[in-house]
Chains A and B, each alone.
Chain A
Amino acid sequence: MMLGGRGHWGIGAFGVEAKEAISPRVALRLLTYMGPYLGQVAAAIGLMLVASAMILAGPYLLKVAVDTYIARGDQAGLNLVVLVTLLTQVIGNLATSGQIYLVTWVGQSTLARLRHQIFGHLQRLSLSFFDQQDAGDLMSRMTNDVDVINQLLTNGLTVIFTDILQLVGIVAIMLALNWRLALLSFSVMPLMAVSTVVFAWRARKAYRQTREKIGAVSADLQENISQVRIVQSFARERANQERFDEINRENRDANIGAAAVASAFSPTVDVLGTAATAIVVGAGGLLVLRDQLTLGVIVAFLGYVTRFFQPIRDLAQLYTTLQSASAAGERIFQLLDTAPTIAEPVGARQLGSIQGRVEFRNVWLAYREGEPVLRGINLVAKPGQTVALVGPTGAGKTSIANLIGRFYDVTAGQVLVDGHDHREVCLASLRSQMGMVPQDSFLFSGTIADNIRYGRLEATEEEVVQAAKLVNAHPFISQLPQGYRAQVMERGVNFSLGQRQLISFARAVLAQPRLLILDEATSSVDTRTEALIQSALARLLQGRTSFVIAHRLSTIRNADQVLVVEEGQIVEKGTHQSLLKARGRYYEIYQMQFREEESSLAPSGVPAPAA
């Protein structure tokens, strides 16, 4: 709304590609989010222990059944083993289910907290942050990055504990059953480790590419869906489709490439796993022939070896998840660590009800080092005055307006509201007494009443209607079938610009501000609506200190002060009449308007009627 033509070509504040390695710092910080849920996490780990123990008991019970009871023909003993096995399965399954629920509970609660925190932080960040930051990028942090962490929390957590527990358990049991055969079957481990590392490295590269490509797909979709009206106006559908086709194809190919790496990994592990099984059967068989091993041990080993490789596979998978979660966490924390440039001092004073005196004392402002856009602005607006800001684009009018509500901080000098330096007061207490009418009227989805009430949340129905009446928005609203309950679609596209502007005026009126800042955009409504608005504004400006970035003479004529701003300085000050008489810069601007009108009159040849 407020910012005029300030150039930002810069890359976003943190458009840097996140590092590849898993950062322990980020991982630790993510873990701290689980702090409040330690009890649940502990319970989940307990349940995982139980579930793992039950799973590990399976092959051992089988060994007991084979060696002890089947070999001796003891059906009663066998029945007992069957019963025990049944019990382990029931317990194991219940534990697993409880653990899944707990982990999901912890994970989702953590995510909700994280989302809450990110969103809250976004609300605190200053406008200068949003100037530099791509909305799409912020969206992606909030959706994709949070989702990656979701995967880690819900799948990763279970995998780490269950798999490590199982691995350790299996190794221990196998060693206990027969250490020689165990060591033999572990001989494939180094190979397994090497191939896992190699694949993880290749996969990381491949998946990073897929993320980039899907990002490009989303960006293109986003732009063309939200601007579909322009696309259709220019009949650009075919050209856009071709471009999207290309981006989409790159995404597909990157994914297929990544899948090739991933599909090669699993079979490699599988071959190694089977090799381990073959060792158990082959070497174990030979040991049985020498009477150094019972058949039951081989049976149990077969059970354990098959359970051995799944955790390794999972852990390798987890490594990738961890990597992307680490990168995602990094991006999220970067955002959370961005300090709002506009901060309140400790113990900022609550600003009481203000009179509306605004003073600028030698104010300088530079958005970028060494490029001041305001250079020594001095002005005083007495309570109730209307100040019109006039001047070319980039002169600094919007910057002046933005400084009043402290949307940016001055580089040097002071802005005083009722004599208080506005950096020393509580921001909310200042802004809640200000009304802003932006040039592009943004509406939120919800009802019209909701949108007007945005100015003052506790306003009653009558007050909302009253505000709408004051700005002449009531007639068109009451003509709608649902009246004030009519739904506003995303960005208010189902209302005309003029209607949107009227609603945005009503919003400002309802806020009952002591200070009004108006970026005049009356030209976007039709002449009749504009006249209605002008008359409403006359009432609104009454008794309020108002700064108007003025585009029309009628506004300027009614202003108590006209400030002509050029190149960051106030070059002229006065009323419309006094400035005209002075024949200075304002007069020149005025003349230019007049010349324009005259030249456009010529071709039509219609003489101006007498007034």
Chain B
Amino acid sequence: MFHGPSTLVAGGAAGETAKGSPGSLWRALGYLRKYWPAASGAYLCLLLVTLSNLAMPTLVRIIIDQGIGGADRALIEWGALGMVALAALRAIFSFLQGYLSEVASQGVAFDLRNALYARIQSLSFSYHDRAQTGQLMTRATSDVEVVRLFAGMGLLNLLNVVALVAGTTVILFAMNWRLAALSLATFPFLLLITVRFSGTIRPAFMQLQQELGTLNTLLQENLAGVRVVKAFAREPYEAKRFQAQNVNLLSQNLRVARVFATNIPVIGIVSGLGTLAILWYGGGLVIAGQLSLGGLVAFNTYLLMLLMPMRMLGFLVSMLARASASAQRILEVLDVRSEIADAPGAVSLPPIQGRVCFQDVSFRYFGGEYVLKNINFEARPGQIIALLGATGSGKSTIINLIPRFYDATEGSMTIDGHDVRRVTVESLRRQIGIVLQETTLFSGTIRDNIAYGSPQATMEGIVAAARAARAHDFIVSFPQGYDTQVGERGVTLSGGQKQRIAIARALLLNPRILILDDSTSSVDFETEHLIQEALEGLMQGRTSFVIAQRLSTVRRADSILVLENGRIAARGTHQQLLEESPVYAEIYNRELRQAGRPGSPEEAFAATTVAEASERGRVR
């Protein structure tokens, strides 16, 4: 029904590869602002942890040089106790840091997910025509998680690296500037290597995420289409297709591993050079009596302390790369502006009568050809408008324009004189009910599903709607009645049952304008009879737009619009059209009469012979 542009290429908005600019990560981190007390608290605690980390080697140096070297027992004993006390203090700050950073980062993830959810829900049909569920899912789950990890531990550790490097550097230079200069000489190289590393690893990770997304999409599709797969015995083919992508994912994983494998030893060796310098030059200084042994040990400890974050830097950088790629993918969604959005100063549509007017409406999907051209018509309150025409003639497009699922390319559409683009989308859609042949139920109870469009409805209202929709009887036949759970995609109910629930849903909404498909699929005659009754009850007193498949509907219609190639080829009542429009007469004689149900017993038998004769004439 709601079919989108067939001209748009797959991938479009959601499938594009993001490059992962640092800018997007920066923007994503802006979500931390709201959690500044927790975030800065975490950072403060981390600083205190770092400070106590910095104090520890000096304490050890004092114990070695003055306690052990100076044979001061009391100093040794008190020093050791001091170390434990310092560690206890550090533990408290460390706990607070971990907890507070989680509070902040989970807050960011929470906000990002909510924002994504809101955006995804508000994006227009034309966006969703192009976007893939799997891709959007990945963004709202794993991409958010990657950004969160960075916003919490990644960012903190990155800041910590800065604090540690600054603190240790100052201490090292104060202790012995020459030794400090020598042992820190490798750091610029280390930095350079790390930066280059990040440049290689970032795109590799982007690609990895992409391959994973593709694999998941394949899987999801296979599960959704399992019946088709089985019907055509295509299992081996599906397995081959999946395996091909599985191998792609594997080779990308290995590509990433290779980048790591070639960079890690270089970083490791270069960073080890500093320690060697201390041992070589510092050892010489001790021999020359220019440095104490405790000083040498402390120097070494400080350098090791520096190396830890430096080594982590490689990890942090890849994390940063992943996070900026993920941030970009998230922002890509957040930044899409819905083509359908409330105009500035849009007013709420007051309760309407149901007068719908199309004035010179033309429509084409982005870049495509016109699917509607100069449509003009007016539906007065309470009228039934039947839409008739071939597949692709523009019927679906017309009904998609009424609730503003798409915007007209040219011309305007008004409801009770209000241009639909000047009223809020919500107030518009709340007054329009839609019943389609393909009914989707949401997981939840039957009651929830009937009340889907009107969450405030009372139980009495729900039951009344179900009764009017001829759904009450089968609902109460379930052990749990209205509280019966309907599963994913509503698999537990038959097509006819789902359709009646959809009718009840629309009835409860009590819309002034109704859009429906009068066809009933997958049901037997008796159920169909019930559904037709229900549909008729539903149309009573509402402006209804019906994609007509049956004779009874076109006969009842106040106006029939016959569409051909996006234009209205003929219009009028059934009777008028039969007399005036050869196109309609042809459709009527050839299709409605034959394919639809006969109107009377005589006609039924007559139609049989006529249809058979005409079919023979046509086909053979």
Contacts and interface: CB of A to CB of B under 8 A. Distances in A.
A252 B109 contact: yes
Contacts of A282: 63, 76-77, 79-81
A528 B390 contact: yes
Contacts of B548: 527
A262 B532 contact: no
Contact of B120 (A89, A228, A434, A609): A228
A316 B158 CA distance: 25
Interface string A242-267: 00110011011001100110111011
Contacts of B92: 267
Contacts of A600: 532, 536, 552-553, 555-556
Interface string B250-270: 100110111011101100110
Given A282-B79, A611-B606, A524 B3 contact: no
A348 interface: no
A259 B102 contact: yes
A123 interface: yes
A252 B287 contact: no
A554 B615 CA distance: 11
B216 interface: yes
A338 interface: no
Contacts of B432: 233
20 contacts: A5-B494, A7-B493, A70-B287, A93-B264, A227-B442, A235-B425, A256-B103, A274-B90, A278-B83, A282-B80, A289-B68, A394-B494, A407-B230, A445-B132, A496-B391, A519-B522, A529-B390, A601-B599, A603-B556, A606-B575
B492 A527 contact: no
Contact of B253 (A104, A491, A507): A104
B602 to A, nearest CB: 9
Interface string B373-400: 0000000000000001111110110000
Contacts of B488: 134-136, 223
A33 to B, nearest CB: 14
A270 B434 contact: no
Interface stretch (B7-15, B319-327, B412-420): B7-15
Contact of A4 (B103, B107, B522, B533): B522
B519 A270 contact: no
Most buried by A among B92, B300, B432, B494: B494
Interface stretch (B177-185, B198-206, B584-592): B584-592
B283 A538 contact: no
A229 B387 CA distance: 21
Contact of B239 (A120, A438, A440): A120
B8 A101 contact: no
B114 interface: yes
Nearest to A600: B552
Contacts of A467: none
Given A78-B287, A235-B430, A597 B260 contact: no
B237 A457 contact: yes
Interface in A504-533: 507, 511, 519, 521-531
Contacts of A4: 494-495, 522
Interface string A479-505: 111100011011101111111001000
Among A405, A523, A535, A552, max chain B CB count under 10 A is at A523
Contacts of A354: none
Given A82-B279, A241-B114, 8 more contacts: A101-B258, A104-B257, A233-B432, A264-B98, A275-B84, A392-B525, A445-B132, A589-B526
B189 interface: no
Contacts of B453: 234-236
Nearest to A272: B87
A145 to B, nearest CB: 13
Contacts of B151: none
A545 B191 CA distance: 74
Contact of B64 (A73, A277, A295, A521): A295
Nearest to B564: A528
Contacts of B141: 214, 217-218, 221
B121 A241 contact: yes
B363 to A, nearest CB: 15
Contact of B595 (A92, A130, A552): A552
Given A4-B522, A538-B619, A274 B83 contact: yes
Nearest to A607: B575
B166 interface: no
A224 to B, nearest CB: 7
B228 A1 contact: yes
Contact of A271 (B91, B262, B437, B527): B91
A557 to B, nearest CB: 6
Contacts of B300: 62
A414 B132 CA distance: 44
A551 B296 CA distance: 91
A69 interface: yes
B137 interface: yes
Contact of B219 (A139, A298, A405, A440): A139
B269 A90 contact: yes
Interface in A91-129: 92-94, 96-98, 100-101, 104-105, 108-109, 111-112, 115-116, 119-120, 122-124, 127
B598 A594 contact: yes
A271 B529 contact: no
A608 interface: yes
A9 B287 contact: no
Interface stretch (B122-130, B168-176, B351-359, B464-472): B122-130
A66 interface: yes
Interface in B208-262: 215-217, 219-239, 242-243, 246-247, 249-250, 253-254, 256-258, 260-262
Interface string A425-452: 0011001101110111010110000000
Contacts of B51: none
A592 B269 contact: no
B318 interface: no
B532 A596 contact: yes
B435 to A, nearest CB: 10
B221 A436 contact: no
A489 B440 CA distance: 19
Contacts of A65: 279, 283
A78 B283 contact: yes
B423 interface: no
Interface string A395-408: 10000000001010
A27 interface: no
Interface in A179-221: 214, 217-219, 221
A557 B96 CA distance: 79
A391 B395 contact: no
A93 B272 contact: yes
B609 to A, nearest CB: 9
A489 B102 contact: no
Contacts of A101: 257-258, 260-261
Nearest to B145: A214
A2 B556 contact: no
Given A112-B250, A281-B76, A594 B555 contact: no
Contact of A392 (B71, B221, B260, B526): B526
A523 to B, nearest CB: 4
A226 interface: yes
Contacts of A69: 283
A543 interface: no
A105 B261 CA distance: 11
Shortest beta-carbon contacts, A-B, top 9: A263-B98, A5-B494, A282-B80, A274-B87, A267-B91, A259-B102, A436-B231, A123-B235, A93-B268
B224 to A, nearest CB: 7
Interface in B496-545: 496-497, 505, 509, 517, 519-529, 532-533, 536
B461 interface: no
A411 interface: no
B549 interface: yes
Contact of A604 (B102, B262, B264, B555): B555
B390 to A, nearest CB: 4
B48 interface: no
